[in-house]
Amino acid sequence: MNDLILKNCKFSDNQIKNIIIENGKIKEITKTLNKSDLNADNIIDIKEKYVIPGLIDPHVHFRDPGLTHKEDWASGSMAAIHGGYTTVIDMPNTNPQTDTLKNFKEKKEIALKKSYCDFGLQAGVKSKKDVDEILTENPASFKIFMDLYSDQQLDELFGYIENTGKLLCLHCEDQQLVKYYTKKLKENPENESDTKAYSQARSEIAELISVHKAISYAKKYNLQLHLCHISSNQTLKYVEAYTQNMNISIEATPHHIFLDNSIYDEYGVKAKTNPPLRNKKYALTVDDLCKFDSIGTDHAPHTLEEKTKDTWTSAAGIPGLEVTMKLLLTQLNKGKVTLDEIIRLTSLNPSRIFNIENKGKLQKGYDADICVIDLDKEGTVDVDEFYTRGKYTPFEGLEYVGDSVMTINRGQVVCENDEVIKHDVKYIY
């Protein structure tokens, strides 16, 4: 007997098919159902809404352990499920940092107890000994925040990843330039209330120089790189010259694609992120999405108190999990992006880049991770509907057309009618 059948599913090629699910896996995708199939435990008529693979976000900050007043594994993963995501990969900059075997295992146990979706963990890079020990727990990848280290330290850290066979993810901002321009701009007291000064302090040049150094170190140590949240068209153009001959993937975020730093005039310092939003000259647009390999939300919530200080002391980071599909599907309805392009960026490529088995495709034998979308659903982005603890977004009040309406994780309906349901999750490695 089948566990679940989804009837009348519309695929990206506009064909109507049925998905037969058994033991959390896709058993069959078929145009017709047999009489025996009708004895399934559960049959859901999708009514010709589109189905796509469950979304995979390789870049979230769930703040757990140590910073759970901002977010924890329960609230963050509920936001993920609500937004159509069935798999997330969490960043290592929690408290304590996930850069030792002990800390890695502790975070993994927390997530197994509290998470509402499947997950992986990125590991920090502390020492060669710690890197080798963490490898025994199969991290999704390693992560270095380049703005926190000198060039000499970076050379050493990159060297620790050599011969691990693991992907290295990078936050690319040059420490020296950021320090210099931050100090210089802080000398003008008017900049305390001008968030655009933050974009100048952490400029597109600081990102570009950091990427150049990253590529140089990657050549030296023969590493596979994933460049997180590329924020400027200047960097994008530079990286394109290397992607043919090096193993480099690049990630876009919704805020860097859909916003520029003029939003600071309207939304203020609450829109502050690292790297910052760019001015129109260097800002990315939806037309650049085709040049990226994946979308990571960089979901990074803080409390409103932490977000509403001055330019320099306000926390950097915004929630993204519950707005991303609204933004992308609205662009699909405008003819700016295709459904296949969304699938490539949000599931197919993330599963490939991060070596996630049996996810990222609607295919026989794969995990039954499915996002059902309604291209006709209209609404306005409302933070009161968020599951994340971060009740703010620079997209607040935006009118959208198209949204996820059901999320299925390994054959279990985990979100329907905006209600999120707990189920057993797994570590994906």
Half-sphere exposure of 270 (CA within 13 A, CB side): 15
State yes or no: cis peptide before 53, omega within 30 of 0.
Answer: no
Q: How far apart are CA 175 and CA 148, in angstroms?
A: 6
- Catalytic: which of 37, 298, 367, 369? 298
State yes or no: cis peptide before 96, omega within 30 of 0.
Answer: yes
37 classed as catalytic: no
93, 139, 290 from 336: Cα distances, Å: 35, 36, 10
Q: Is 226 exposed, middle or buried (0-12, 13-18, 19+ CB in 10 A)?
A: buried
| Three-state secondary-structure class, residue 61 | coil
| Three-state secondary-structure class, residue 217 | helix
Give the DSSP per-residue string, 123-142.
EE---HHHHHHHGGG--SEE
Per the listing, tokens 């699938």 go with: 343
Q: How far apart are CA 202 and CA 219, in angstroms?
A: 26
Q: How far apart are CA 151 and CA 153, in angstroms?
A: 5
| Three-state secondary-structure class, residue 396 | coil
Q: Is 36 exposed, middle or buried (0-12, 13-18, 19+ CB in 10 A)?
A: exposed
Q: Which helix (H) or strand (E) holds 92?
A: none
Half-sphere exposure of 169 (CA within 13 A, CB side): 26
Q: How far apart are CA 313 and CA 325, in angstroms?
A: 31
Q: How far apart are CA 271 and CA 287, in angstroms?
A: 22
State yes or no: cis peptide before 65, omega within 30 of 0.
Answer: yes
Per the listing, tokens 């059902």 go with: 372
Q: How far apart are CA 89 and CA 59, in angstroms?
A: 6
Beta pairing partners, 123? 142
Q: How far apart are CA 127 and CA 276, in angstroms?
A: 29
Q: Which residues are catalytic?
A: 298
